[in-house]
Each structure stands twice: as structure tokens, then as C-alpha cells.
Structure 1
Amino acid sequence: GAVAGATVTLGRIWDAANQRPGASENTVAQNAMSPQHLRVPKGTTVTFVNPADNRSAHAAVSFFEYEFDSGVLMPGQSFTHTFGAAGEYFYNDAIFPQNTGKIVVY
């Protein structure tokens, strides 16, 4: 969580070499959540961002426990959610459902 600043960038693949979201939008890769696996302490507010230079709408919707739903985020929009309970929260992009991620709250 610290490296990503408790922020998930939608539609981007993590650039491991530079420790940041990739520079271009990706709508087909399974790991197009940046980072795909985020670990944060309980009480953390996570921001989901659709970068202004993305061409498509994106969303972040948790499944199994239905903890959060960003709704449709147009380029340049963001959504925040505070995680109050420890657990594993799996989510995907409602627009491009093959894009998945996981947030582990400890």
C-alpha cells in the first residue's frame, strides 16, 4: 500500500521496474489494475482512479462480499472507500470484467 500510496489505478498494468502504474491504458489484460494486489492496514482509505488520459470508462466492484462499488468512472474521475474490517476483498472492473484485483486488509 505504501508504494502505491493506497491508490489503485484502473486499466493500467503495474510497471515493476519503476514501481508505478504503467503509462498506457490496457483493457484486455487480467492484471490491468495497478497494483493488482494491494495490502493495507484496517482503516485505510483506498482511492480508485481512472486516469484522465485513459480513453475508456472503468469501474471497481467487489465481489463475494460486495464491500464497494465505484459506479462508472469516466477518465479523470476517482472513488474512495475506507476498509473497516480485516479480510481479502476481490474486485473487478465492471466495464472490462477480465481486469481483476485483490485488496488484503490486515
Structure 2
Amino acid sequence: PKKRNDIRAAALTGTTITLGRIWDASNQQPGATENTVAQNAMSPQHLRVPKGTTVTFVNPADNANAHAAVSFFEYEFDTGVLMPGQSSTHTFDTPGEYFYNDAIFPQSTGKIVVY
């Protein structure tokens, strides 16, 4: 068996991940309301970017709670605690798969694939 429970959401391209929101596939954007219980409350949950891309992790100003994004296998990034309205960036210089979760609501997970 695999060591990792893979993210099954389709990979999307972009440079921003919205924390605490479920992806709204019909509108191709983060959902309008905060979610603190879902496993897929990262928007998008599966991001694919080229090497050298800077990704911005955003906690929307209208979220009620702090959020964070921390890679848990490779220790590649840690946004620290982001209060509503705050953001953090990380540049991905090494190709690979980076699994992460929300340090405040750890059931919410995501994956960034750098190629």
C-alpha cells in the first residue's frame, strides 16, 4: 500500500490557494463560505505548477478563523498562522509532490505538484 492517501481531485493550474474553502467546480473558483470540517477545504485542493512558481496561500478576509498550510512529508513550506485577510507565499524550486494540511484544521489537506 502507498504511504500517502492520495488527493483525488483533478489537478488545476494557478498560483493561489485559498484556505478554508471548498472548490466550486461549476464556477471554477473557491467557494463563497468558509468550511472548517471538510477534508477538501483547500481551493484548489490539487494544484499543478511549473518549477520556479511562487504560490500564494490566502486566508480570505471574510473567513472567521485562522488557517495555515504546512507540508507534512517534505517540510518544504509552512505559512505560519494566517489570520483572516492575511497571505503567505512560497516559491517551489524543486519538482515533486508536496502534500500539506491546514495546521489549525488538520483534516483539510491538499497537494501541489511541481514539474
Coarse TM-score class (shorter-chain normalised): over 0.9
Match of 1:19 among 28, 36, 39: 28
Q: Give the corresponding residue for 1:29.
A: 38
Superposed displacement of residue 15, structure 1 = 0.2
* Cα distance in 1, alignment partners of residues 113 and 77 from structure 2: 14
1:54 equivalent in alignment to 2:63: yes
Question: Deviation at 1:45?
Answer: 0.2
For residues 43-72 of structure 1, give each alpha carbon's deviation from its aligned partner in whole angstroms, at most 9, with x where no partner exists.
000000000000000000001110000000
Query: Structure 2: which amino acid aligns with 1:17?
Result: S
CA distance in 1, matches of 2:73, 2:102: 14
Q: Does 1:66 align with 2:75?
A: yes
Q: Separation in 2 of the partners of 1:63 and 1:41?
A: 21
Residue 103 of structure 2 is matched in structure 1 by 94
1:73 Cα deviation from its structure 2 partner? 0.1
Normalising by the residue count of structure 2, what TM-score does the alignment of the two structures yield?
A: 0.89
The alignment status of 1:39 with 2:48, answered yes or no, reads yes
In the alignment, the residues of structure 2 paired with residue 105 and residue 63 of structure 1 have an alpha-carbon distance, to the nearest angstrom, of: 16
Residue of structure 2 equivalent to 1:10? 19
SS where residue 46 of structure 1 aligns?
A: strand
1:78 Cα deviation after fit? 0.1
- Rounded Cα–Cα distance in structure 2 between residues aligned with 1:8 and 1:52: 14
Q: Whole-Å Cα distance in 1 between the matches of residues 51 and 45 of structure 2?
A: 18
CA distance in 2, matches of 1:90, 1:15: 21
How far apart in 1 are the matches of 2:96 and 2:24? 26
Equivalent position SS for 1:53: coil
Q: How many residues align?
A: 104
- Once superposed, what is the RMSD of the aligned Cα atoms? 0.7
Task: Give 4+ residue runs of structure 1 displaced > 3 Å after superposition.
Answer: none
Q: Percent identity?
A: 86
Task: Determine if the alignment matches structure 1 residue 77 to structure 2 residue 86.
Answer: yes
Structure 2 runs not aligned, ≥5 long = 1-11
Cα distance between partner residues in 1 of 2:72 and 2:52: 20
Question: What SS is found at the alignment partner of 1:88?
Answer: strand
